[in-house]
Amino acid sequence: MKHTYKIISVLSLIIFFSSCTKWTEIKPEGFLLEDEAVKSGQDVKRIVNSTYDALANRLNGSAQIYNDLLGDELADYNITGDRREMYTRGVIPFNSTSNDNFRGIYRCVFRANTCLDYIQKFNDLSATEKSTLEGEIKFIRALSHFEIAKLYAHPMGTSSLVNANAAQSGIPLRKTVTIDPVLRSSIAETYAYIAEDLISAISLLPENHPSNTTKKVYADKDAAKALLAKVYFQSNQYQKAIDVLNGLLVNTKYKLSDSLNHFDNASFSGEYLFQFVSTGTGDNRASAYTGNYRTDNVAVPNLQLSALAYNFMKQDTTDKRLGLIKVINKGKPEEVYGSMKFNKDFFDVPYLLLTDMYLMRAEALAITNQNLPTAADDLNKIINRSYLNATAKILTGAEIADVIKARARDERRREFLLEGDRIQTFKRIGANGEIQVPNTMRNAAFNCNGLIFSYPQTEVTIGFAQNPLQTCN
């Protein structure tokens, strides 16, 4: 098979493929690429724009839900088919939903690599435009590899048990346009390459993307910094995360919202460092969220909050975020719980936001036992907006590191309920060698093979380490 395709249309329909097709044989969504069809830098720019679009189709709540299915925030209700395999941590190599997610995200990598091949070939783009495009491409490639790493590889950390009873591998890193098989890199190589892309993106991207007139739709320097901090944080490289966050959080153009709902676009817009934008019901980049979690247009939501998660939230009745939870059939045997975060016909999905940056820095500072007053101040920003009697909960900065760390994790759990964060936090902490209480989540230890998905069978070539099956239930 030769790498000769042709662009049909930026707006053409997504191409569907059978489960027995390798990702390398899949044309990118909406595209067939061929050298003679890419005739200008403007064509390259259109491909980059469409790749943001394709990535939004994966992070519209779908990938977030796949993460949550592995954790403990969803009730065991109405979870069937491929999702049932995810919930019971038994994803096999032929799970079509998991495989579609894998291939869909890698198609974004394919597009990014294709654009890097073409970007210097045309003279209709200025040097500044080329630099910006290259930075965006590397941001997209890093984000794509990061999302794959979270679901298909164990976390990177210091614990000797990180890969005990598990595949000793990271993910396949697609660095160039090629149809050749790519074996899995180590987890250290995986995160190093993602970080390398983002460091390069930071140097290339402008402070303000010229197309970000009202929303943070296109990657700019701060978006790349925020993602790099998140990558370092998730891979237990806390000092590196702190260094990036210190440079990012001095920027006064971002303001914490008074709203409690991250998806309240109007009130939260000042917090977004990067978002996937919806333009209407026919272009809803939050469709998986709205289709599964809405509580205002159904008797019972398709996916419900677990009793365990609800009981955790209501431990503190002064937490105003409790108001985002709807108790259905209250007091009856069939009492269930849903979220009201997603009760709109459409909305933008924030991927990087200021709240997360403050919570990351606070926890990282506490883990490394340094600058605890700043850690406390970061947390106090969240506490002040979240509680009825916030004054009683304010931290002084004189607390020991373990107290601040525990509080940072408590606030993270409350802030990111049903946003795909909980399971990754659990795995990250375990990979750092910390003893968690409890030390399992729905009976799974942090390094259980059931907490990572199997690769599509068609990716498993000679020397490729498949993730072993282990449900841990």
Angle formed at CA 152 by CA 147 and CA 154, multiple of 5 degrees: 100
Q: For residue 467, what are the CA distances in angstroms to 163, 182, 194, 302, 340?
A: 11, 16, 21, 30, 36
Q: DSSP E strands: which ranges in 100-192?
A: none
Q: For residue 231, what are the CA distances in angstroms to 12, 272, 374, 456?
A: 33, 17, 21, 25
Indicate left, alpha or beta for 169 from its phi (over 0: left) and psi (-120 to 50: alpha).
beta
For residues 237 and 214, give the distance between their C-alpha atoms in angstroms, rounded to a whole number. 33
Question: In whole angstroms, what separates CA 301 from the centre of its chain?
Answer: 23
For residues 63 and 287, give the distance between their C-alpha atoms in angstroms, rounded to a whole number. 12
Q: Over the chain (473 residues), what is each successive 10-residue block's mean pLDDT?
A: 33 30 38 63 93 96 98 96 96 96 96 93 92 98 98 88 64 90 92 98 97 95 98 97 97 92 92 96 96 95 97 97 97 95 97 98 98 98 97 96 98 98 97 92 94 94 91 81
In sequence order, which residues have a C-beta less than 8 Å from that of residue 179 and are 6 or more positions away?
Answer: 1, 3, 24, 25
In sequence order, which residues have a C-beta less than 8 Å from that of residue 65 and are 6 or more positions away?
Answer: 83, 288, 292, 303, 420
The residue among 236, 451, 268 whose CA lies nearest residue 360 is 236
For residues 439 and 437, give the distance between their C-alpha atoms in angstroms, rounded to a whole number. 5
Entry pTM:
0.92
For residues 320 and 260, the answer to whether their CB atoms sit within 8 Å is: yes
Tokens 């991250």 identify what position? 262
For residues 242 and 248, give the distance between their C-alpha atoms in angstroms, rounded to a whole number. 10
Taking domain 23-281+348-452, whether its CATH number is 3.20.20.70 is answered by no
Q: Which residue type, as a one-letter code, is found at position 338?
A: G
In sequence order, which residues have a C-beta less than 8 Å from that of residue 119 and are 6 or more positions away?
Answer: 41, 44, 125, 130, 133, 134, 137
Say what the pLDDT of residue 39 is. Answer: 86
For residues 461 and 24, give the distance between their C-alpha atoms in angstroms, rounded to a whole number. 13
- What does the block give as tokens for 162? 């990180």
- What does the block give as tokens for 399? 């607390």
User: pLDDT per residue over 214-264, tens digit each?
Assistant: 999 999 999 999 999 999 999 999 999 999 999 999 988 899 999 999 999
Question: In whole angstroms, what separates CA 113 from the centre of its chain?
Answer: 21
Judge residue 410's burial from the number of C-beta atoms within 10 Å of its C-beta, 0-12 exposed, 13-18 middle, 19 or more buried.
middle
Say what the pLDDT of residue 158 is. Answer: 80
User: pLDDT per residue over 262-292, tens digit each?
Assistant: 999 999 889 999 999 999 999 999 999 999 9
3-state secondary structure of 325: strand
The residue among 361, 352, 353, 302 whose CA lies nearest residue 328 is 302
Q: DSSP E strands: which ranges in 271-410?
A: 272-276, 325-328, 336-339, 349-353
Say what the pLDDT of residue 168 is. Answer: 60
User: pLDDT per residue over 38-90, tens digit each?
Assistant: 889 999 999 999 999 999 999 999 999 999 999 999 999 999 999 999 999 99
- What does the block give as tokens for 75? 């009730």
Q: Where are the domains of the chain?
A: 23-281+348-452
3-state secondary structure of 8: coil
- What does the block give as tokens for 423? 């399971």
